């Protein structure tokens, strides 16, 4: 089975931009799955296997930080790398995400090269 990535963002437009950037960066994913928030992502991950997760931080229902918190308690998914995509430049929120297991972060607005730089090392 090929590589699969999950993109979590409450904006369908942003999910499409991230998906397009992954392709433009030349990263080979056979399938890009999408979720609108952390809870939707956890529900999806209960049924689907992915190799990488890209998550926004600011989302309604369950934000990226709470998603990280809950993900690390679930044995089947706790080791999947997560890259946070955020407008937040704040070291506090990035530090919190890293302490909860985030593998890296990409700041909006981003380029395919920026995505490749962070994600290329993880896959």
Check whether the bond before 109 is cis (ω within 30° of 0): yes
Contact 49, 4 (CB under 8 A): yes
- CATH classification at residue 60: 3.40.50.2300
Return the pLDDT at 101: 95
The 3-state secondary structure of 34-55 reads: EECCHHHHHHHHCCCCCCEEEE
Contact 63, 49 (CB under 8 A): no
pLDDT in tens, 40-88: 999 999 999 999 999 999 999 999 999 999 999 999 999 999 999 988 6
pTM of the model: 0.93
Domain that residue 111 falls in: 4-120
Euclidean distance between CA atoms 71 and 73, whole angstroms: 5
Q: How many domains does the chain have?
A: 1
pLDDT in tens, 87-113: 866 678 889 999 999 999 998 888 889
Residue 13: pLDDT band (50, 70, 90) is very high
The Cβ of residue 30 has, within 10 Å, a number of other Cβ atoms equal to 10
């Amino acid at each position: 089975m090929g590589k699969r990535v999950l993109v979590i963002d409450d904006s369908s437009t942003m999910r499409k931009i991230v998906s397009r950037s992954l392709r433009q960066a030349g990263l080979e994913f056979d399938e890009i799955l999408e979720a609108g928030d952390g809870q939707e992502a956890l529900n999806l991950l209960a049924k689907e296997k992915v190799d990488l997760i890209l998550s926004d931080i600011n989302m309604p229902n369950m934000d990226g930080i709470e998603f990280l918190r809950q993900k690390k308690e679930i044995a089947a998914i706790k080791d999947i790398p997560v890259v946070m995509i955020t407008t937040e430049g704040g070291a506090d929120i990035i530090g919190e995400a890293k302490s909860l297991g985030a593998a890296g972060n990409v700041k909006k607005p981003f380029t395919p090269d920026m995505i490749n730089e962070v994600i290329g090392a993880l896959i």
